[in-house]
Amino acid sequence: MSIAASVPIRDAHDLSLAYTPGVARVCEAIATDPEVAHDYTWVSNTVAVVTDGTAVLGLGDIGPAASMPVMEGKAILFKQFGGVDAIPIALDTTDVDEIVETVVRLAPSFGGINLEDISSPRCFEIERRLVERLDIPVFHDDQHGTAVVTLAALINSARLTDRDLQDLKVVISGAGAAGVAIMKILQSAGVRKIAVVDRAGVIHPGRDDLNDVKRWLADQTAGWARPGSIADALDEADVFIGVSGGTVPEEAVARMAPEAIVFAMANPHPEVHPDVAHQYARVVATGRSDFPNQINNVLVFPGIFRGALDVRATRISEDMKIAAATAIADLVGDDLSETYVIPSPFDSRVATAVSRAVTDSARREGLARRPY
């Protein structure tokens, strides 16, 4: 990574514009109207990638210093795929109050905040409080990026298997950040029959070992979820979505409905190995690049922030996320097949399509400060 000037400084005249006395005029303009900071500073195109290093990739709680390479990698992807400048910020605290206060104080330097690799359930409260206090987009990619790309793949998988979203019987393995966000976006998209499973089995209102987040999940899925193991939940289920890192027995997958859909997204070891899943499922996707149908967040976050920044959105709404998922799904078009339900991360159309969908949605919802 590097930071480079967007204009040359070749002589004393250039220096007088780039620094004193020229910058004083810009400072005065911003002091008079803070909104022009988006026109005359890097704010309009710069995102903070913020972590505390407590839930890094598949590495877990490795601390802020060790998390920095991942944050730098994220910043590179922002630039490569969305043209968005991103600055990695690793915070040496795991205290929710301290993280929120620190980000709020840093926020004037950025056009958006991408939260990354913060452990559950703290990540939910941190995001919620930042959304409440800031008037710029705040996006926890481990939650919402995963949820958006999962919905995109599911839209096309349902189309391929001639199913309606509202009729799907879905089992989500994992009740962390990704699992909760996937459940939310699937409900918003019309899926009604969802069961969420953790290490103790199906999450339901009768359990007495649930934290606040899992109690909320239990209430939201009470109309369909029934007590039991993951094998019980998968009996005649249409869809398995794995974001847990656990292992699902082959005999449980065998109990799924004909032409099942299996998204085993744990890395590096999917909950169900694709060779096993293919014996029982028509569509199989993973989080890995060495199998077809890679469900990868890079399809989402560059375009979402590109669109949000372009219209100076005040936040990223559920409708904007669904619009992004639909745009990604639509790119597959008539090429839809069992091995192609989601575009490649290197499909150059993705970020543009997502960005346009997000800007259109933001304008419809009145969340765009730049309405044109």
Summarize the annotated binding site for (S)-malate as residue ranges.
267, 296
- Do 175 and 200 meet the contact criterion of CB atoms below 8 Å apart? no
Q: Which of 74, 184, 214, 321 is catalytic?
A: 74
Going along 24-182, which residue ranges are E strands? Answer: 46-51, 85-90, 112-115, 138-140, 169-173
Crossing angle between the packed helical segments 318-330 and 141-160, to the nearest 10 degrees: 50
Binding-site residue numbers are: 116-117, 142, 267, 296
340 is a catalytic site residue: no
Residue 372 is a catalytic residue: no
How does 162-184 read in b/e, with b if 16+ C-beta sit within 10 Å?
A: ebebeebbbbbbbbbbbbbbbbb
Please enumerate, by residue number, every residue annotated as part of a binding site for a divalent metal cation.
116-117, 142
Return the DSSP state at 332.
Answer: T
Pairing label, strands 46-51, 112-115: parallel
Active site residues: 19, 74
